[in-house]
Amino acid sequence: MKAYPEPPLDSNLIVKGLRTKRLGRSLVVLEECTSTNDAAAQSALEGAPHGFTVIAEEQSAGRGRQGRVWISPKGGMWLTVLFRAPFSVGSVNALPLIGAVAIARVINSNLGVRSRVRWPNDVVVDHRKLSGVLVEAKSKGNELEYALLGMGINANFCTGAVKEIGQTSASLLEILGSPIDREPLFCSILQETERLYELLASGDLGGIMKPLLSLECSRGKRVSLRLQDRRIEGVFDNYDGLTKVCIVTPAGLPETIDTSSVVSVVYL
């Protein structure tokens, strides 16, 4: 796999640049792991605190939604944040959008990129995927124990040089024409994720919906959804809070879909 030659991540720069209360305050930066979600799950078992974060230079078995492989060469930004209970099922289901909004806001304001959020969990630039979010939760009995917010950003490598990555992907290097400093970006993403999560925890959904609606690019698009029990095709009409969306079927009927029941999404 061809990667852009660059200095390795400097964990001291991340620690020095962090302005968060909890997120990233307990931090591990790995040369390589299977998946930062795996590494964070292992640390969660061993008692890692809320906000614990794993960053990896490279993932050998990065994974995406719906069991897909997530190709994760050196030069990317691969991280997972541990969120410990107490939290409601609703707030776990809102985490993918929180991650996507945090990434898009930071990339746009820090780097001047015009990225958008594509429901349910992508950050895209000109319809090409720059970043994806994978949330995995663990329950104990009926109780949610923790959730892992995994975020992947194609940063300092050329997606075109990695044959396993589809042509509908993009990287910051390709968009900007030169590599970025990843350390300050990690800090800003952790800070913005924490800010949005605090809004969610305090019930201030409006504080999240406003940036989401200004960044989103799914409304008006035709989509085909595979749900747990059926398929539905229609036009993405709007968000109904952070965990539901409204799809208008070809018959003109609005249907409210819970994002957690969605198995796969294809934009037509």
Question: What are the residues binding ligand BTN (CB under 6 A)?
Answer: 35-37, 59, 62-65, 68, 70, 72, 78-80, 121-122, 132-134, 150-152
181 vs 59: CA distance, rounded Å: 19
| 3-class secondary structure, 185 | helix
- Least Cβ distance, residue 66 to ligand BTN (angstroms): 7
- Least Cβ distance, residue 209 to ligand BTN (angstroms): 22
185 vs 171: CA distance, rounded Å: 14
Identity of the residue, 8 or 177, whose beta carbon is nearer to ligand BTN in the bound complex = 8
Identity of the residue, 18 or 100, whose beta carbon is nearer to ligand BTN in the bound complex = 100
Q: Using CB positions, name the residue nearest to ligand BTN.
A: 132
Identity of the residue, 167 or 255, whose beta carbon is nearer to ligand BTN in the bound complex = 167
- Least Cβ distance, residue 39 to ligand BTN (angstroms): 9
- Least Cβ distance, residue 203 to ligand BTN (angstroms): 27
Tokens in use for 199?
A: 């809004």
Torsion angle (degrees, nearest 10) of CA 169, 172, 175, 176:
-170
Identity of the residue, 45 or 255, whose beta carbon is nearer to ligand BTN in the bound complex = 45
Identity of the residue, 64 or 211, whose beta carbon is nearer to ligand BTN in the bound complex = 64
- List beta partners, residue 264: 226
Identity of the residue, 36 or 243, whose beta carbon is nearer to ligand BTN in the bound complex = 36
242 vs 123: CA distance, rounded Å: 16
Identity of the residue, 24 or 132, whose beta carbon is nearer to ligand BTN in the bound complex = 132
- Least Cβ distance, residue 37 to ligand BTN (angstroms): 4
Specify the residue for token string 């698009």: 221
Which long-range CB contacts under 8 A does 228-234 form with residues at least 24 apart?
228/261, 228/263, 229/261, 232/257, 233/268
- Beta strand extents in the chain (DSSP E only): 27-33, 53-59, 77-84, 116-118, 122-125, 128-140, 143-153, 222-227, 231-240, 244-248, 254-258, 262-267
- Least Cβ distance, residue 33 to ligand BTN (angstroms): 9
- Least Cβ distance, residue 150 to ligand BTN (angstroms): 3
19 vs 13: CA distance, rounded Å: 12
Contact between 82 and 146 under an 8 Å Cβ cutoff? The reply is yes
Specify the residue for token string 């998946």: 35
